[in-house]
Amino acid sequence: MQSQELKREKILSSLKVEDFIGRSGEMDEILRHAKGDSKSLGMLVLSEPGNGLSELLRQTYDQLFYEQGETIPVYFSFLKNNETAEEASCRFLQTFLLQVVAFRRGNVGLLNSSPDVCELSELAIPSDGHWIDRLVVACEVKSPLKDERSFIKQAFSAPLRANSQGVKIFLMLDGFENIESPKSSLNLLDELKEIYSLSTIPFLFAGRRRYVLSAIQSGHPKLQNVEILRLESLENSDAGLLIENLSEKMQVKTSDQTRDLMIQQFGAKPQLISALFNSAQDYDKNLASFNQVEQVYVDSLLGGRIGKIYDTVFNEITSNFAVQKRILKLLANEEEKTPLENWSKFLNLPENEFYKTLHLLRIHEIIRIKSGMVVFAKEDEVLRDYVETRYELEVVGEARVLVVGRMLANALKRAPETMTRFYRNSSAIGVRELLAVFNCQSVPRSLFNYADFKKNYKGEESAVIVKSLEKESETVSLPQIVFTANCQAYYPPISQLTSENSSAVAIGFDKGNYTDESEVVWITAEIDSKMEADRELTEFWCDRLEMVALMCNFINFKIWLITPEGFSPEACEVLQDCRAFGSSRRQVEFLVKYLEAEGLVKQRLKANEYEMVVPMGDDTEMIAAHAIEEIARRHDFQPRAINQIKTALVEACINAAEHSHSPDRKIYQKFTVEEDKLIITISNRGVRIPNKKVADSATEIDPNEGRRGWGLKLMKTLMDEVKFEQVDDGTRIQMVKYLKK
């Protein structure tokens, strides 16, 4: 059956394609691998908990199924420690045959049926019938000549046997952390590694990051020639789109402030964000204020959807409720680290069960084990809250009303602190990335000496400064940086003073000489100061960074402080006495340009997004036109392009006012300037633009048609890209104009 004949519906995935946000890059990587466009046949996908790994693989399966190309996708997930290797093998064989037959027939409905292996042989297309029949006979588990291990090998080798018959298979094995079954006498992991160490088909093994990589690349046999794809939390921008999408789909109101709060509070994890919105819908509440977000969060944590996510995890770790309570008590311990022997004594479990419990706690990223010490992952605020509430309710025995009240109060007090960290991180230059660019370059000394920079260049235009910097004779020789990390990684107490992105430690070598004498450590921090940093603030930060050096036993180190507006004369004296560097943000901008590192360093130095809301009617679109003219001029668009942008914007506003019947009579506008283009987004509530009208907009402008009706056509004529998007409550128009110099 041809792919165009298949009606696009969910097959294995749980989300519609348009609702699956932020994973297009990872899906493209997997699709490329599936089609043989990679150096290795094997791929490992490593994921943090809650990042939507299974949904990504299921979406990939659906995509390949509907493409109906040469590659047949097969998706199989290991269950959570409740089946033997033989049972898993039986289930795999049936899943494999079912998915192959359904793909070959282009019949999605077959996947929802439960035919046995013999029925699948009859359903197979004639060209597949022969090899499927032989495979079924070869895998017959009841044969007296077939032992358990032989059957397992035959079953999981089925994709390789199909490939030998010219059938191209792409195999995805999910849930790898569940592969070690306590009921099985055979090591299924080793069997799979042996089978696929000489694979002739592209395959993918996926699961929790703390298990998969070490399990696959350790022991005997090993799988080493594989690609590795790490599935991290969503980017903040993608998490924002997810929140907007959930808000529209579920009719749960949010605000820009609560969107950012949810992203930070939940670490941009799609599982937790989705659980919060489902909880808000359950409770018929909105998420438009911090108070509403935290109310829903606490309710969801104590017995709601978020709590159930963690309940499931703890039940997987151990079904013994008494052991769970002892684990909670250990985790709730105020000490940062607890000796491993304390855990062993307190849990009082048989040795095998004890180490299995710790193993699962580690895989689920609830603890870390370092140098014989168990460390609770307290940086995960949601996990910490879950442990604290369960401990207080189930171990201490506090009244529920007291726990709820205290948790809500704490969450509300923490919210502004969370946002403060977010804003500081967002505005940070990214000193770690900048230090990583250092590679024995010689740069003008005034870029690291604020007093000289102020004396020589105050009030000068940027172009003049750039030319003058190239002529400077005094320079600073940068080291070759070989490793960078956030300051907190070296000295955790400093996290109370600086955000993660605002300080860094960089280890390097002067002149690239790898000797003890040449080794140098740069310790850098961005510090807040509305005006030039004064003596007291500068002394404080020099002391703090010297403490980092002292506690880490750094002998040869260099301190570099960065402030928005530089340093006062007295502060410059402090820097000189400490043999430290001091720069303003403007100096850092010139340093980034001098090192040609614009593409490598995260550019947080300049705002490039503008938003405005204008009322409909009374020629208010001209206000927007004047605004976009000024923005485009500032970003070096040519006069002709500016006029085209203005005209397109006016047409978009008129179109929104004429057709939307908007209840709030407002037009929402966002102007985003990127390096090579300007993106204009116009949205409004109300009646959608009819699909036919959007399609007609692609046609040529007809002068005989009159002024009305030209709007959509003009936008496509004047702009480089125009996209119309129907949303639940109106229409969104996005227009792009590229910067052509």
pLDDT digits (tens, 9 = 90+) for 80-131: 867 888 889 989 998 999 999 999 988 888 888 877 767 777 777 887 877 7
Say what the pLDDT of residue 688 is.
52
Structural contact between residues 239 and 268, judged by C-beta atoms closer than 8 angstroms: yes
What is the mean pLDDT of the segment spanning 637-646?
91
Please say whether the structural domain 609-738 has been given the CATH code 3.30.565.10. Answer: yes
3 state DSSP class of 79: coil
Residue with tokens 């004529």: 717
Q: Is the pLDDT of residue 24 over 50?
A: yes
384: Cβ contacts below 8 Å, ≥ 6 apart: 376, 378
Q: What is the CATH number of domain 3-231?
A: 3.40.50.300
- For the cut 70, the answer to whether the pLDDT of residue 497 exceeds it is yes
Pick the CATH number of 431-594 from 1.10.10, 3.40.1340, 3.30.70, 1.10.760: 3.40.1340
Model pLDDT for residues 290-343, shown as the tens digit of each residue: 999 999 999 999 989 999 999 999 999 999 999 999 999 999 986 778 999 999
Q: The tokens of 428 are what? A: 């940070």
Greater model confidence, 633 or 271: 271
Q: Give pLDDT tens digits for 187-208.
A: 889 999 999 988 889 999 999 9
pLDDT, mean over the chain: 87
pLDDT at 687: 55
Question: What is the spatial distance between Cα 484 and Cα 486, in angstroms, rounded to a whole number?
Answer: 7
Q: Which long-range contacts (CB under 8 A, 24 or more apart) does 376-379 make?
A: 376/331, 376/333, 376/338
Residues of the chain with CATH 3.30.565.10: 609-738
Residue 422: predicted pLDDT: 84
What are the start and end residues of each CATH 3.40.1340 domain in the chain?
431-594
- What integer pLDDT is reported at residue 138 of this predicted model? 61
pLDDT recorded at residue 139: 61
Report the relative pairing of strands 557-563 and 581-584 from DSSP bridges. parallel
Within 10 A of 198 (CB to CB), how many other CB atoms are there? 9
* Helix or strand (DSSP H, E) at 300: helix 290-301
Q: Are 217 and 247 in contact (CB under 8 A)?
A: no
Please give the backbone phi and psi of residue 265, each rounded to the nearest 5 degrees, phi first.
Answer: -65, -35
**Interatomic CA distance for residues 99 and 107, integer angstroms:** 10
* Averaged pLDDT for residues 531-557: 95
For the residues 488-497, what does the mean pLDDT come to? 88
